[in-house]
Amino acid sequence: MEALDLWILPSPLERYIYTGLSWGWGKKHESLARFDVFTGLFLSYVIVNYLVIGVFAGTLHKLGTHPETAPELARALMPLLGQTWSQVLFYIGFLAVPVTTTIGMSLACAIAIHEAFGWKPDVNTWRWRVCALLPQIGFLAVWYPRPVWLVITIGAFSSLTNNIVGWSFYILFNDKRVLGRYKNRSYLWNPGILIQITLINCIAIIYVFNRLGWWIK
Amino acid sequence: MINLNRKIGFFSLRVWGLILNFIGNALAIYGAIGFISDGSRFPVLIIGLVLTVSCIVILAKP
């Protein structure tokens, strides 16, 4: 579900409307943007994510283990890949996060804050550096005895707040003052976003109901 | 036709629609929990589902 959220909600805005316009893209580039969204986001987020989740769940479920630390997670992959390659693959995966997602997230954060406050983006200023570092809370894991639980806590927070992001994107896509001629005019895109918003609303509601002990026993 | 960009109180109709959709979602889930557990709260489930579908149909207008 998270993968679908990540693909459907921000993709057209982030990839085309914001970045595209700032690079001087026009109508003739729209097909390129669609191809980019499909290959860069749909394949990687939806297809690959589901495959990885499926393989991981299958491996751990068969073992009946519930790993909570990085070495335990690496050990859980051993039956599938062997002792050496399970560790190599696991740490490549860990390295992939800082060299891809973390950088993108920092840049997106800095761009968004500068845009929101009407500041001129300048990568040489301290303001830009601070804005880029704001979402970097991963270092907290250094002081946390069970870092995997930090991921779960952040995941829970994300479940509660994802619907706010969805609402914002829906409102933004339909705001003529902000997007001008790029405002959504399709009768297909809105229901798609609204169904997705309903699903992420349900994730947040189920999470709260679970905490309240109202879920099916 | 409803003008979804018209402001009523603090928010536009679009935002009120999203809030109503959220309430519909919560009612539907609450009703579904009761219905699956012991067959109760069926009317709540139906009200939640009708509210959710109505909101999606109305808010689909660009």
Mean pLDDT along residues A77-95:
78
More confident residue, B54 or A152: B54
Q: pTM of the full predicted structure?
A: 0.69
Contacts across the A-B interface (CB distance below 8 Å): 62
Determine the Cα–Cα distance for residues A15 and A145; give it in Å rounded to an integer: 38
Let me know if residue B53 belongs to a domain.
yes
Determine the Cα–Cα distance for residues A127 and A104; give it in Å rounded to an integer: 18
- Confidence band of A19 (pLDDT split at 50, 70, 90): low
Let me know if residue B2 belongs to a domain.
no
pLDDT at A93: 78
Whether B60 shows a pLDDT value over 80: the answer reads: yes
Say which residues have a Cβ less than 8 Å from residue B58's Cβ, sequence separation at least 6: B2, B4, B17
Which residues constitute the domain of residue B18? 8-59
Separation in Å, CA of A157 to nearest CA in chain B: 18
pLDDT at A162: 80
Whether A192 shows a pLDDT value over 70: the answer reads: yes
Element of type H or E holding B7: strand B7-8
Let me know if residue B50 belongs to a domain.
yes
Let me know if residue B38 belongs to a domain.
yes
| Residue of B18, B37, B52 lying closest to A216 (CB–CB) | B37
Element of type H or E holding B11: strand B11-12
Angle at A158 between CA A135 and CA A73, to 5 degrees: 85
Let me know if residue B28 belongs to a domain.
yes
Determine the Cα–Cα distance for residues A131 and A76; give it in Å rounded to an integer: 37
If one counts the domains in chain B, the total is 1
| Residue of B4, B25, B33 lying closest to A198 (CB–CB) | B25
Task: Report percent pLDDT > 70 for chain A.
Answer: 79
Separation in Å, CA of B1 to nearest CA in chain A: 15
- Confidence band of A217 (pLDDT split at 50, 70, 90): low
Let me know if residue B46 belongs to a domain.
yes
State whether B4 and A174 contact (CB < 8 Å): yes
